Structure 1
Amino acid sequence: MLDDFLIRAALAGIGLAVATGPLGSFVVWRRMAYFGDATAHAAILGVALALAADLPIGAGTLAVALAMAVTVATLAARGWAMDTTLGVLAHSALALGLVAVSFVPDARVDLSAYLFGDILAVSQTDLAFIWGGALLVLALLIWRWSALLTCTLNEDLAAASGLHPDRERLVLTLALALTVAMALKVVGALLIAAMLIIPAATARGLARSPETMAALAALIGGGSVLGGLQLSLAEDTPAGPSIVVVAMLCFALVAGFGRMRRG
């Protein structure tokens, strides 16, 4: 019989995978990996603000992640060089957040949980927040799927079809910000991008359509969560990093199998 905290951890991780699978597919297609890192790093500043104002951590991280996402989307629309801009914003937000946390009493003890996640400490309230956010992200992506896919393939064609690429980019950034906020408790700010990218990159080697890739990415992410929790339980390793290690092994297996098949 599994303990309640393990069941909550598994449900939280699967909820995260429901969102990161389809969303991560767009991150891979649009080459937005660094954008995910920047938004995740900004979430640490949200932690500091939430602790200082005695607010729920989820509310603080969501507010700052949304602010970062909107800022980056606005700068991208104005033609800023994204690699340099994201580098400045990502590291500045992380550093500012770490400094700000140091001024909050008793916050240093929990800092590693915000950086690397603490999925085994997920509460029922956290679980409701994660699943609520995951379903919202999934509904948003399903609603805008066709438009998002068209804008991803060719923005000029999308504009000629009456779509607004900037608006669809904003939809993605908002979904990414919400995912970062709900994932902070599970895998932490430094590992969120890995859960977005690795399952989607693995699924790309197996799928023959965008829809199949999104579904496979969610399944691979969920399997990585269960495998990572099993590894953590058996070997007493950190749960969040263990999840990412299992996802990495899945990617290595699929990449190796694909190379053998081509050879």
Structure 2
Amino acid sequence: MLDDFFIRGLLAGLGLAVVAGPLGSFVVWRRMAYFGDATAHAAILGVAISLAFGVSIYLGTLATAMAMAVTVSALVSRGQAMDTMLGVLAHSALAVGLVGVSFVPSARTDLTSFLFGDILTVGRPDLALIWGGAALVLALLVWRWQRLVTATLNEELAMAVGIDPRIERLVLSISLAVVVALSIRVVGSLLISAMLIVPAAAARGLSRTPEAMAAAAALIAAGAVAAGLWFSLRLDTPAGPSIVVAAAIFFVLSQVFRRG
């Protein structure tokens, strides 16, 4: 069954959807859209470094995305203006990454796949990494769930009950970096933020509790993957953007049927 490129792509997308839903919920709750952009855009620099030194794309992307996530988290903790700082870092990271890739001849022809993903070329080793990484991040979120939710809702209340908001912010930063690294082959660095935000935003109006929203976001993300791949196969459109378009359609529908 796994010899079928479509099935492998579907399984890879579902692996990403399972973790993008809950993590994306925190991104929406904390208004961290630019945070996701900064981390995702840094992945292009990780691609350039990986190709230049002949190491795994996943490893280079993970290291660079994690460095960006930790840097941004530290700056925010020091009181830097979040929106301005994230905007500067997001666009600067993308520009530096693109310039870096231009110095690696072997990367020039593959740049589009790193920007927008190439889910239909995912192989068995990629599947193992995606599902393994997704399981680790999901387990981390489940373990820290109550602490993360409390720190997200009210940092003063979290500190009053012995929860350090900085640690929870760091947990989210590291989780986001891992998901960015996993998604580089699925939807690419430019579209991963959409896969985190759009399904969670769609689930927000359909849910009453944080847990329900996280589960609904994962289901919507999974539905977007399946629908996007089907449209890509039938209409010969790019797979990664097709998945995001499907997620956007789900968002529009959620606004029509949202709970009062």
| Equivalence map 1:41-120=2 (5 Å) | 41-120=41-120
Match of 2:36 in 1: 36
Question: Secondary structure of the residue that 2:79 maps to in structure 1?
Answer: coil
Question: Secondary structure of the residue that 2:237 maps to in structure 1?
Answer: coil
C-alpha distance in 2 between matches for 1:149 and 1:97: 34
Match of 2:159 in 1: 159
Q: Which amino acid aligns with 2:19?
A: A
Q: CA deviation at 1:83?
A: 1.0
C-alpha distance in 2 between matches for 1:16 and 1:243: 12
C-alpha distance in 2 between matches for 1:206 and 1:90: 31
Q: Cα–Cα, structure 1 residues 171 and 2, in superposed 2: closer, same or farther, change >3 Å? A: closer
Q: CA deviation at 1:2?
A: 9.2
Match of 1:248 in 2: 248
C-alpha distance in 2 between matches for 1:220 and 1:77: 32
Q: Which amino acid aligns with 1:225?
A: V
C-alpha distance in 1 between matches for 2:244 and 2:2: 22
C-alpha distance in 1 between matches for 2:241 and 2:105: 27
C-alpha distance in 2 between matches for 1:222 and 1:235: 20
Question: Secondary structure of the residue that 1:208 maps to in structure 2?
Answer: coil
Unaligned runs of 5+ in 2: none
Q: Is 1:179 the counterpart of 2:168 in the alignment?
A: no
Match of 2:141 in 1: 141
Unaligned runs of 5+ in 1: none
Percent same amino acid at aligned positions?
Answer: 68
Q: Which amino acid aligns with 2:202?
A: T
| Equivalence map 1:152-231=2 (5 Å) | 152-231=152-231
Q: CA deviation at 1:120?
A: 0.3
C-alpha distance in 2 between matches for 1:2 and 1:44: 29
Q: CA deviation at 1:82?
A: 1.1
Report the more deviating stretch, 1-10 or 73-82: 1-10
Q: Which amino acid aligns with 1:240?
A: G
Q: Which amino acid aligns with 2:111?
A: L
Q: CA deviation at 1:235?
A: 0.3
Q: Number of aligned residue pairs: give it.
A: 260
TM-score by length of 2: 0.98
Q: Is 1:26 the counterpart of 2:20 in the alignment?
A: no
Q: CA deviation at 1:257?
A: 2.6
Q: CA deviation at 1:217?
A: 0.6
Residues 22-67 of structure 1 deviation map (CA, whole Å, 9 limit, x = unaligned)? 0000000000011001100000000000000000100000000000
Question: Secondary structure of the residue that 1:136 maps to in structure 2?
Answer: helix
Q: Which amino acid aligns with 1:11?
A: L
Spell out structure 1 runs of 4+ moving beyond 6 A.
none
C-alpha distance in 2 between matches for 1:191 and 1:14: 16
TM-score by length of 1: 0.97
Question: Secondary structure of the residue that 1:107 maps to in structure 2?
Answer: helix
Residues 59-103 of structure 1 deviation map (CA, whole Å, 9 limit, x = unaligned)? 000000000000001001100011111111111111111011111
Checking the alignment, whether the CA contact within 8 Å between 2:2 and 2:8 is kept in structure 1 is no
Q: Which amino acid aligns with 2:158?
A: A
Checking the alignment, whether the CA contact within 8 Å between 2:21 and 2:217 is kept in structure 1 is yes
C-alpha distance in 1 between matches for 2:89 and 2:212: 34
